[in-house]
Amino acid sequence: MIVLVTGVSGSGKTTVGGLLAGRLGWAFEDGDVLHPAANITKMRAGIPLTDADRWPWLRQVGEWMDARVAAGLPAVVACSALKRSYRDLLRAGRPWLRLVLLRGDGDLLTSRLAARHGHFFDPHLLASQLADLELPQPDEDVLVLPIADPPGVIAGEIMGQLNLAPAPGSPANGTPANGAPAHGDLP
Ligand SMILES: Nc1ncnc2c1ncn2[C@@H]1O[C@H](COP(=O)(O)OP(=O)(O)O)[C@@H](O)[C@H]1O
Ligand SMILES: [Mg+2]
């Protein structure tokens, strides 16, 4: 199975996706690293990506997932997948894919982006991302979760809703790999 964590920039895809993967003992891949260099240059310059910019990137994300599944391995992948057409492309021929959308309002997203450092995304592009975002339709089977909760709570909710068990040795399983007592103050 591949769990695809979607949402606009600042919604927590990298944070929640990475945490979720850690708890599951699965690999985490950030779709940001699969962007063609030209897209990253545009985003750094504050220029919104067009559909034409995004198709090659989405195909790249799909190919990464296909290779992973062909190797018999699960993963958590972060990818904004803002529009229905993007999600349709990613889903086509991939029955093992489960989608999660992290959803928040503009004020909360803006404050999270303002507090985030060392990232190529220009916070002013948030408005264009929110304009591009098409909320999932009922037939899409996307798990939509609010972003106000702490990352650990959201990751736990995803595991519960998708019926995913923590990896043996995961802190969320109460049996850390190093044998030390669990501390119970997960983020
Ligand atoms: N649920 C959350 N609660 C509080 N802060 C969060 C939460 N999710 C993410 N953050 C913080 O918000 C910022 C954006 O999160 P990030 O994972 O980079 O979003 P994305 O990958 O979707 O662009 C980061 O500084 C991150 O630490
Ligand atoms: Mg990210």
Confidence of residue 186 (pLDDT cuts 50, 70, 90): very low
At 120 the pLDDT is: 58
Q: CB under 8 Å, gap of 24 or more: what pairs does 122-131 form?
A: 122/43, 122/44, 122/45, 122/46, 123/9, 123/10, 124/46, 125/9, 125/43, 125/46, 125/48, 126/8, 126/9, 126/10, 128/48, 129/8, 129/9, 129/48, 129/80, 129/82, 130/8, 130/106
Kindly report, residue by residue over 32-82, the tens digit of the pLDDT.
Answer: 999 999 999 988 888 888 999 999 999 999 999 999 999 999 999 999 999
At 121 the pLDDT is: 57
Kindly report, residue by residue over 112-155, the tens digit of the pLDDT.
Answer: 988 887 765 566 788 989 999 999 999 999 999 999 999 999 99
Atom of ligand 1 nearest to the CA of 11: 22
* Ligand 1 proximal residues by C-beta, below 6 Å: 7, 9-16, 78, 112, 115-116, 147, 149-151, 154
CATH assignment, 2-169: 3.40.50.300
At 154 the pLDDT is: 98
Q: Are 132 and 90 in contact (CB under 8 A)?
A: no
At 177 the pLDDT is: 42
CA of 70 to the centre of ligand 1 (A): 31
Instruction: Give the closest ligand to the alpha carbon of residue 113.
Output: 1
At 64 the pLDDT is: 98
At 181 the pLDDT is: 37
* Least confidently predicted of 15-24, 91-100, 126-135: 126-135
Q: Are 1 and 74 in contact (CB under 8 A)?
A: yes
CA of 10 to the centre of ligand 1 (A): 5
At 119 the pLDDT is: 65
- Unique residue bearing structure tokens 């940001």: 32
CA of 145 to the centre of ligand 2 (A): 17
Mutate to test the pocket of ligand 1, among 15, 40, 43 (most ligand atoms within 8 A of CB): 15
Tell me the CA end-to-end span of the chain in Å, nearest whole number: 25
Nearest CA to ligand 1 atom 10: 12
At 184 the pLDDT is: 34
Nearest CA to ligand 1 atom 6: 12
At 8 the pLDDT is: 96
* Predicted TM-score (pTM) above 0.85: yes
Contacts of 79 by beta carbon, 8 Å cutoff, 6+ apart:
4, 5, 6, 13, 31, 58, 61, 90
CA of 180 to the centre of ligand 2 (A): 31
